[in-house]
Amino acid sequence: MDVSIQDKAESWLKGNYDQATKDEILRLKQENPTELTESFYRNLEFGTGGLRGIMGVGTNRMNKYTVGMATQGYANYLKKSFPGKEIRVAIAHDSRNNSRFFAETTANVFAANGIKVFLFQSLRPTPELSFTIRQLQCQGGVVCTASHNPKEYNGYKAYWDDGGQLVPPHDKNVIKEVEKIASVDEVKWGGGEANITMIGKDMDEAYISMVRDLSVYPEVIEKQHNLRIVYTPIHGTGIKLVPEVLQRFGFSNVHVVDEQATPDGNFPTVIYPNPEESEAMSIGLKKAKQIDADILLGTDPDADRVGIGIKDKKGEWVLMNGNQTAVLAFNYMIEARKAKGIAQPNDMVVKTIVTTDLIDEIARRNDIKCYNVLTGFKYIAELIKEKEDTEHYVIGGEESYGLMIGDRLRDKDAVSAVALLCEMAAYEKDKGHTLYDKLIELYVQYGFYKESLISITKKGMNGQKEIADMMTAYRSQPPSTINGSPVVELLDYQLRSGKNLQTGASWAILLPESNVLQFILEDGTKISARPSGTEPKIKFYFSVHTKLSNAADFDRAHAELNARIEGVIKDMKLK
């Protein structure tokens, strides 16, 4: 074992750490030195979104001490940023193992630093935390969650006073303050309990009222209240609010998946508690088939992502990907607001650079401004803040199953998304159609766009380096052709520059720096490479499109686009 790793472990054995932590270090030292190395070879990085990692002892793990040190650094930055002002923070947590403990630890450290803390009395969805920060005029907030990661993980998302996650310059500045905390002895662990206020039902009511106001066609729901809905919270926080919100919207035929209804950080029925995974939606899908449902919906543990299932033209169930769900939602909000006469001349929508360009096309043809931002809802929140005096935000979304409807909160919100997706299904059913019919109709109207995603994971100490080497190679030696089509443009968001590889012309990209590369091919294919900011993985996004003359031609066009994506993946040797 590396000497520096041994020294770190030794410092924990000699320092002010609890006996259970020391016993576990001694056990790993004797029984599992590899795990001990993984636990101490680095400090768990407080990234631009906060912390996320495997739970356990050590500097590279989520535990009381890494959470406490992060909170002390964040508290120090809040006090520097708002001198002479009462500082208020809101804290929430999901259903993961230790989430409540981490939330209470966070609350105690903030309170010991003289900060007024509003702590939810039990688990709540992440979007409600964002709403609460704005509702209570807090300067910051934290939610303890690792979103859709496996059960071994937990995390800590930090928020600013607008209800969005940290963005420049605050993200980097908080990181600097966290890195200054060199020892657990610098953390104020307790003594400020009087600064903690428990919150719960009153905030739920305010949040539910806000979501209820998003409904565009309540009269249609009244007619289609019997829409057959199957919902699974996948052992997460969605159970706290989603069934209640659906009832308040007027839906009377909601079936919760019993096997996944109880919050449980072990996620016993799934491998990954992620509605992006078909396996996580399989039990819900079985129930949907049993009762011949109209729509299936699933949310992740902290209820900020939503996945849906609907029936195709043959009556067979299909799970929509995040791009398809976003297209349906964006189009509905645009179309419905126009039809209801509530659209405004300065309406705007926002998506990320790796989300389907079909949304850009729909917005363009409806004379609505569509902005593209970097991946992450914090950038959507930042843009809303920048434009709120001159433009009216309607909806934002990203391909990873995230939607944010309305501007009363500033993070993706699966609770309101579930309600609006059910309203959309009711609206189409009232016309004798399905959401699948609507999607095909949009493809005929605006063009058939198909997207796909591959994630490549590189675990362990060398994982991050392998991913970095891949990106370096793509930057220094970009391919001249992919799948037989010339690469026309290379967009490098880290260098913030675009280049035409055929003419040599270049231009500036007016977005913050981010480690993302995009290849634009002559045939219209777009390929994006983006290392994850929270996990040792790299994601490749593929987007292809063609014209669809009529619905009957869908299967042929779909096969053609599938083949094009497979050709790209094969040529890039990603499988």
pLDDT per residue over 489-525, tens digit each? 999 999 999 999 999 999 999 999 999 999 999 999 9
Q: What is the DSSP letter of 214?
A: T
Residue 81 catalytic? no
Please tell me the distance from the alpha carbon of residue 308 to that of residue 257, in angstroms, as a whole number. Answer: 14
Catalytic residue, candidates 39, 95, 147, 543: 147
Closest among 66, 74, 69 to 91, alpha carbons compared: 74
Checking if the pLDDT of 278 tops 80, the result is yes
Please tell me the distance from the alpha carbon of residue 99 to that of residue 94, in angstroms, as a whole number. Answer: 6
What strands, in cross-sheet order, belong to the sheet with 317-319?
A: 254-256, 229-232, 295-299, 306-311, 317-319
Contacts of 11 (CB under 8 A, 6+ apart): none
Look-up of token digits 């010339």: 486
Residue 191 is predicted with a pLDDT of: 96
Centre a 10 Å sphere on the Cβ of residue 213 and count the other Cβ atoms it contains.
10
pTM: 0.95
Checking if the pLDDT of 534 tops 80, the result is no
Please tell me the distance from the alpha carbon of residue 233 to that of residue 58, in angstroms, as a whole number. Answer: 32
CATH code for the structural domain at 42-199 = 3.40.120.10
Which residues are registered as beta bridge partners of 539? 455, 530
Closest among 429, 529, 512, 561 to 168, alpha carbons compared: 512
Q: Is residue 305 within 8 Å of residue 412, measured between CB atoms? A: yes
Residue 532 is predicted with a pLDDT of: 79
Which residues are registered as beta bridge partners of 91? 119, 142
Residue 463 is predicted with a pLDDT of: 82
Tokens of 80: 């520097």
Residue 248: phi, psi to the nearest 5?
-65, -30
Centre a 10 Å sphere on the Cβ of residue 494 and count the other Cβ atoms it contains.
13
Domain borders along the chain are 42-199, 207-215+227-446, 448-571
Q: Is residue 395 within 8 Å of residue 333, measured between CB atoms? A: yes
Mean pLDDT to the nearest integer, 83-87: 96
**Domain 207-215+227-446: homologous superfamily in CATH:** Alpha-D-Glucose-1,6-Bisphosphate, subunit A, domain 3 (3.40.120.10)
Compute the C-alpha angle 139/140/145, nearest 5°: 165
Checking if the pLDDT of 2 tops 90, the result is no
Closest among 183, 143, 173 to 78, alpha carbons compared: 173
Residue 533 is predicted with a pLDDT of: 64
Distance of CA 405 to the CA centre of its chain: 14
Asked, colleague to colleague, whether 207-215+227-446 and 448-571 share their fold, the answer is: no
Q: Is residue 52 within 8 Å of residue 153, measured between CB atoms? A: yes
Element spanning 499, H or E? strand 497-500
Name the CATH topology of 448-571: TATA-Binding Protein (3.30.310)
Model pLDDT for residues 98-107, shown as the tens digit of each residue: 999 999 999 9
